[in-house]
Structure 1
Amino acid sequence: MRKEVPGMPRVRVFEDRAAMGRAAADDVAAELRATLSRQESLRMIFAAAPSQREMLNGLATAEDIDWGRVTAFHMDEYLGLPADAPERFANWLKEAIFDRLPFGEAHLIEPGPDPEATASEYAALLAKAPIDLVCLGIGQNGHLAFNDPPVADLDDPFDVKVVELDRTCRQQQVDDEAFPSIEQVPSHALTLTVPRLLDARRLFCVVPGRLKQPAVQRTLHAPVSAADPATALRTHPDCTLYLDAEAAPRD
């Protein structure tokens, strides 16, 4: 079981989503510049979700970043959707950020006919060098990536795996207007695991909206456990949580 790091994560609260997104984008951009000033390249992981859009829009217009020295990954992908489906996270990220910036490399998860083999191959790509930054969110059920409470393992031995999505997670996709009904949301996905995400040097976690407020409350105050996977953020030594007023904890 991961042990809590006292005082973590840092929490920043803003009046609205726009201010939250600008601040997070400014902080990510500043960290990119600082890291690239002291090392030749940088590796980072992105979440694909509407909650990230304001931050990604800000990051796409950030200046003085040598994106050609940045390698990008993403953290989860549905199984069973056509390659060109707009609901695919890879396609969402292409539109939101990957096609807007000249990354040196961008590795998207392509499940293919053998998702288990894809999981192993993507894990190997991630393991080639340390991950510097992760831009992530928190699900309504407290998930990180697609590590829902029923399948999350805070000490997972795998870096990438196939998981079954729980009903709350699938309903969130409908609430986010990614799918018209829960029946159309895939039941399985590939995801980076909690230890793989938390192995990065720095985490930027962007969480707006009133529907996320209970999850944020648990993240900060519930016992660290797989029952609320996002509580694992409290075990990381360098995590910042960006919230709008609706998502902010009540105490």
Structure 2
Amino acid sequence: MKIVVHDDKAAMGRAAAAESIAAIREALARDGRAAIIVATGMSQFEMLEELVQADLDWSRITAYHLDEYVGLSRDHPASFRGYLQTRFVEKVGALGEFVAVDGDAPDLQAEIARLNARIAAEDIAVCFAGVGENCHLAFNDPPADFDTDAPYLVVDLDAACRQQQYGEGWFPTLEDVPAQAISMSIRQILKARKIILTVPDARKAKAAKAALEGPVTNTAPASILQTHGDVSVHMDPPAASLLDAKG
């Protein structure tokens, strides 16, 4: 695991994007196409702003995403589909395919079956992610299921996760935050060749400490990344403030 602490969020975003662009170019050269997993939330703002400016043949790239709230329409301000549509898909212009998670599908199990069948054979070049205040990875809140082989699953959101979504301003009240989400599973995330984390802000410092330097445990779901062979963590100083080793 490589941990790099940058001067500020802008530098963090530039470095995370540059590393991901190199990995995507490598996949395009090797396979003629690339599959990536894009993430959402405030941690991804600076990275996405840089990534969408990359001189890549986006028509040969398929993008999946990590998660979506159950019951939220695409046009809801907190929808991750909507977030990625405006901040990523529309910006790159000629994306080969965006495989969206439909959180308000009338049949959630059918939607999960569709997603699972679609991603099952993919060789994922890069997975982008962040770390939640409760140390979740995607929407795998503690105690996370480290054992399921299903690529996507319905998960319950814990109180800390829902509080974070409200605190970041995505919902007008805590009661408006959905109780469930469709999330990519831990094992599916770990299948990616490279995982790139962006972790800004002091409010993430405790979770970052647990994820990066604590024991691997499902009560700190992002700690499972310590078992992956190619993880890069890009942070700003407040997020890294509790780490023993600051790259």
TM-score by length of 1: 0.93
DSSP-derived class of the 2:91 partner: coil
Partner of 1:94: 85
The reply to whether residue 139 of structure 1 matches residue 128 of structure 2 is no
Partner of 2:57: 66
CA distance in 2, matches of 1:215, 1:174: 18
The reply to whether residue 206 of structure 1 matches residue 198 of structure 2 is yes
CA distance in 1, matches of 2:27, 2:121: 18
Unmatched 5+ residue regions in structure 2?
A: none
Partner of 1:3: none
CA distance in 2, matches of 1:21, 1:88: 22
> What is the CA-CA distance between 1:35 and the residue it aligns to?
2.0
> What is the CA-CA distance between 1:203 and the residue it aligns to?
0.5
For 2:120, the aligned partner's letter is A
1:1-251 to structure 2, matched below 5 A, reads 9-63=1-55, 65-101=56-92, 102-111=94-103, 112-150=105-143, 152-248=144-240, 249-251=242-244
CA distance in 2, matches of 1:158, 1:127: 9
DSSP-derived class of the 2:235 partner: strand
CA distance in 2, matches of 1:82, 1:22: 31
May I ask how many residue pairs the two structures share in their alignment? 241
CA distance in 2, matches of 1:128, 1:202: 17
> What is the CA-CA distance between 1:17 and the residue it aligns to?
0.6
> What is the CA-CA distance between 1:176 and the residue it aligns to?
1.6
Paired residues of 1:134 and 1:197 also in contact (CA < 8 A): yes
- List per-residue Cα deviations over 1:118-167 (Å, max 9, x = no partner): 111101111132212101111000000000003x1112232111111001
- List per-residue Cα deviations over 1:154-198 (Å, max 9, x = no partner): 122321111110010011111221112211100011001000011
- List per-residue Cα deviations over 1:32-91 (Å, max 9, x = no partner): 12221222111010111111010000001112x111110001110001223321211100
CA distance in 2, matches of 1:82, 1:10: 37
CA distance in 2, matches of 1:84, 1:58: 24
CA distance in 2, matches of 1:17, 1:141: 21
> What is the CA-CA distance between 1:16 and the residue it aligns to?
0.9
Paired residues of 2:124 and 2:193 also in contact (CA < 8 A): yes
Paired residues of 1:140 and 1:212 also in contact (CA < 8 A): yes
CA distance in 2, matches of 1:211, 1:187: 22
CA distance in 1, matches of 2:148, 2:168: 28
CA distance in 2, matches of 1:178, 1:58: 23
Unmatched 5+ residue regions in structure 1?
A: 1-8
Which moved further from structure 2: 239-248 or 81-90? 81-90
Paired residues of 1:154 and 1:225 also in contact (CA < 8 A): no
CA distance in 2, matches of 1:73, 1:173: 21
With over 3 angstroms needed to count, the CA separation of the structure-2 counterparts of 1:20 and 1:83, relative to structure 1, is closer
DSSP-derived class of the 1:100 partner: helix
CA RMSD after TM alignment: 1.1
